[in-house]
Structure 1
Amino acid sequence: MNEADQRATMPGESDERYQEGVVDLLAALAYGELSAFDRLAEDARTAPTLTGRAALSSMAAAEIGHYRMLEQALAARGVKVDQAMQPFAEPFEAFNSSTAPHSWLESLVKAYVGDGLAADFYREVAEWLDSGNRELVLTVLADTGHSAFAEREVQAACADDRSLRDKLTLWGRRLLGEAITQAQYVVAERDALSELIITGSGDLTGIGAMFRRLQSNHTKRMGQLGLG
């Protein structure tokens, strides 16, 4: 099924179940943005240089700006963001708890890999949304500058340290596994969101293909960090 056909089969904006799935998607994205703000603000305080501190502080500010956009979009639907986000708090925090970094570089890799995987997932789903919601999701996913900063920092640190490079490579693989496990759990627990994804992807085979694309993008992203 091509992209045009997929969109043609999506429910209309007046479809109640579709709108419920969209609210779940926006709420999950909002909690992710709020979590990213918290993480970047904390990482900024532990940055080894003032340049790094300023860079991460600026990124944190951008993330909270994205969160406010989603809060306003949900409010326009008569939905309170705190209530809508509540079902996603536990799985997000479970991921953060199981992947707590132990160094500045692990923090950078986690943000780069975790945020990258999440962005890839939301961009996939955005292609199945009506134009207004698709534009909102893609705007919220705009790069805050973290990608280029993380690439420079990790590449420089690992340039002459094979042991560190190997350690961070294993760390990246662990993050991939944990992130996909949590994503699958969230989708399985939210019926409307699951229906939205199944309808958009065509069937369960389409969902499997989507997760394979996420894994492929992860491999490319690790290569951009200089980690194989």
Structure 2
Amino acid sequence: MTASSPASPADEGSLALEDLSYRAAVIDLLGAIAYGEISAFERLAEDATMAPSLEDKVAILAMAATEFGHLELLHDRLRELGADPYAAMAPFRVALDKFHEHTAPSDWFESLIKAYVGDGMAADFYREIAAYLDPRTRDVVVASLSDAGHSDFVVDRVRGAIEQDPRLGGRLALWGRRLMGEALTQAQRVAAERDALSSLLAGGIDRPGLDLAAIGRMFTRITELHTDRMARLGLDA
């Protein structure tokens, strides 16, 4: 490559990863997402015991399988970066486990809302961050956030239940608001405790970052997506 040649995505990724603070941030981010996949798998498998029908049980277990299927992709990228996947996930175990303890659903419909709204908000946040990653890592993160169309199942079940019992909508709307509040609080707590993640958003000499105004706009977009997601369920945000 001559001095006048533009850098390829692969070159840009290599240069970014030479920044040790950026590399540490990427490892943290992938570790957080990877443990999130494990905890989502465990939660969904447990939620399947509340399923009212065999069809519902299979659908929720398929969602769990999708979450677990993303794990290998994330672990492979961590190994490419020279990191131990289990060591990378370890710092997030307590925080994520506590989040799920605080937001344990009391019934089948609350479990569906959590799977759709809670996991959806996390995915929105990680997609926002993905814009500031090297191309290879960005592709891995985006691929790990796919839901394989399972959200349609949740929307169908929740809207159908509300049509049969409109009172259910009010309770589930309150549950959705609680999930949003807990998720934002948890995200802020984790970011504050992990300097590497904070530095990722701040950027570096050769990497764009977010100032306070841009961070505010990012959370506004996440909130708007949450509102759209709730509306699709037939609920007020």
Normalising to structure 1: TM-score of the pair? 0.92
> Which position in structure 2 is the counterpart of 1:3?
none
1:215 paired to 2:219? no
Q: Which runs of 5+ in 2 are unaligned?
A: 1-8
Aligned runs of 1:124-139 on 2, under 5 Å? 124-139=128-143
Matches within 5 A, 1:177-216: 177-199=181-203, 200-216=208-224
Q: Does the 8 Å CA contact 2:36/2:96 hold for their aligned counterparts?
A: yes
Q: Return the index of the structure with the highest Cα Rg.
A: 2
Kindly provide the CA deviation profile for residues 88-114 of structure 1, in whole angstroms up to 9, marking residues without a partner as x: 112111211111110000000011111
The number of equivalent residue pairs is 220
Range moving further from structure 2, 88-97 or 28-37:
88-97
Q: Which residue of 2 aligns with 1:227?
A: 235
Q: Tell whether 2:36 aligns with 1:28.
A: no
Match of 2:99 among 95, 99, 122: 95
Q: CA RMSD in A?
A: 1.6
Structure 1: which 5+ runs fail to align? 1-6
Distance 1:90 1:209 in 2: 29
Contact 1:63-1:144 at 8 Å conserved across structures: no
- Aligned partner of 2:20 in structure 1 is 16
Deviations 1:165-218 (A, max 9, x none): 000000000000000000011111111110101225421221122111111111
Partner Cα distance (2:147, 2:106) in 1? 25
> CA 1:215–1:201 in structure 2 vs 1: closer, same or farther (change >3 Å)?
farther
SS at match of 2:164: coil
> What residue number does 2:78 align with?
74
Partner residue in 2 for 1:4: none
Q: In percent, how many aligned pairs have the same letter?
A: 50
